[in-house]
Amino acid sequence: MNKLKLKKILEQFFIEDIGDRDVTSDSLFKSEIGTLTFIAKEAGVFAGEEVIRTGFSLLDDSAEAELFIKDGDRFEKGTELVHIKGNAAALLKAERVVLNLVQRMCSIASESRKAVDIVAGTATKVCDTRKTTPGLRMLEKYAVRCGGASNHRYGLYDTVMIKDNHISFAGSIARAVELARAEIGHTVKIEVETESAEQVQEAVQAGADIIMFDNRSPEEIRELVQLVPDHIITEASGGITLDTLVHYRDTGVGYISLGCLTHSVRALDISAKVKISSLQVQ
């Protein structure tokens, strides 16, 4: 994870939440020192070490985070995940922003682990999509990796992905691949979205690096995979969920991309509690 980007993201989130000041915490506390504990209220997979460390240190550079778990580790309900000791007012100001992010990241990591477990024992890998929350893509894609899944492209800038509308404007798959290859050179991969055997064959002949089977049934994918040489990566996408993933695991496709890993997750239930009976005055 890019720590510089993380710091800038968190700074913007704190500015949004705190504004000029936290009128409650600043009224109640000055130099008191306290300890805040994150407690899991349901089982899951952890993601968010750097968010916790960086988030609390931004508001109190002397804050100390003692983590009892690492990114990618499973945890059970009732697990104490981290103790953060620092200025009481700063802990309370940072709490909601950090907790919101950690809850979302843990949920994504947990869903990703479920998906990975479903395809375990096959050569097929699970990856995410660009269906992420604006401003949170770096964190959400990191959480996917914590769950053991892979990342698809990060944005429009790192992979050519020729979809149906690109093909329509260009006139054909072959023409679209030709134009893209001439513009970007050989160092950037070209993926083509296909919906039929004819389109798959055209993409193969055009020299695509990755061929996606878009919104195809498991039975169709088993047939389409046979048309693709081994050196070309294959991917299945479109409407596949954790409930239906099991039907795609043995199709022979290289990757299955799941938008549901990031676009519709429910925040994992984690609470932040003060674990000491009295505050220490610094």
How many whole angstroms separate alpha carbon 149 and alpha carbon 118?
11
How many whole angstroms separate alpha carbon 219 and alpha carbon 66?
50
How many angstroms separate the Cα of 179 from the Cα of each of 33, 166, 175? 62, 11, 6
Label residue 121 left, alpha or beta by phi (over 0 means left) and psi (-120 to 50 means alpha): left
140 and 127 Cβ atoms separated by less than 8 Å = no
The helix (H) or strand (E) run that includes residue 39 is: strand 32-40
76 and 40 Cβ atoms separated by less than 8 Å = yes
What's the CA dihedral at 41, 263, 255, 195 to 10 degrees? 150
Beta strands in 138-240 (DSSP E): 160-162, 190-194, 210-214, 233-237
Retrieve residue 247's tokens: 């039907």
SS3 49: helix
Which amino acids are annotated catalytic? 96, 131, 163, 193, 214
Angle between the 197-206 and 218-225 helix axes, to the nearest 10 degrees? 40
How many whole angstroms separate alpha carbon 92 and alpha carbon 277?
16
